[in-house]
Amino acid sequence: MEGALATRLVAGLKQAGIDLVTYLPETRLSQILPLLRNDPSFTLLPVASESEAVTIGAGAALTGKQVAIYMECTGLYVSCYTLVSIARRYGVPLLLVVAYLGSMNDQRNNAVYAVSGTYVEPLLDALQIKTQILVNGDRLEDDIQDAVRHMHALKLPVALVFTGDFTR
């Protein structure tokens, strides 16, 4: 992802009130990590599994933190159980920031990711997680604001799924 887009993404999260991010690193959106790390308005929590990115994020959200969970799309497979058993069952507002590897718009798509990418959208549907797929930065800040407003209205996780220009 271009540096300018990463800067806008992080600024958009901040503007929307996000103040805590749990994450397992991946490549496509990784330019956001040093920006998050160097901004004292974010608490950045590295985890060993996307499953606990959800549980830790949910616990923090129940104390009033505004939580984003940053993961590769394969992390959705890993975190299905905690998304259902904690985030959805309790009704916890969480913003999923998902790098959509293996999508048709993934600019670095390859044989490793293409099959994994196939199941991302049906899985989010099955989990009943409201989702916005972004292929460019035209409405980036607005999409983040809309998603955060929606997660608070629903008291549930919502997903922003990044592909296209975000995967260059």
Partner 1 sequence: MIRYDCLKLLAPRITDELVVTSLSGQKIEWANLSQHHGNLLVGTMGTALGVGMGVAIGLPNRRVIVIESDGSVLLSLFNLPTLANLNPQNLIVLVFDNQVYSGTRISEPTATAGKTDLAMMARGAGIEQATTVRDLDGFQKELDDAVAKNQLRFIVCKVEESVTHREILRTDLDPIENKYQFVRYLERTEGRAIFRGRG
Q: Would you state the structure tokens that stand for residue 111, as one six-digit string? A: 């044989």
Nearer of residues 67 and 140 to partner 1, judged by Cβ: 67
Residues whose CB is less than 8 angstroms from the CB of residue 125 and which lie 6 or more positions away in sequence, other chains included: 131
Task: Report in angstroms how near the CB of residue 164 gets to partner 1 at its nearest.
Answer: 29
User: In this complex, which beta carbon is closest to partner 1, that of residue 1 or of residue 92?
Assistant: 92
The encoded tokens of residue 6 equal 């990463």
Binding site for partner 1 (CB under 8 A): 17, 20, 43, 45-49, 51-52, 54-66, 81-82, 85-86, 89-93, 149, 152-153, 155
- For the chain, the maximum distance between any two Cα atoms, rounded to a whole number of angstroms, is 42
Phi/psi for 47 (5° steps) reads -130, 170
CB of 152 to partner 1, least distance (A): 3
| Min dist. Cβ of residue 115 to partner 1 (A) | 24
Nearer to partner 1, 16 or 161 (CB): 16
Contact (CB, 8 A) for 14 and 39: yes
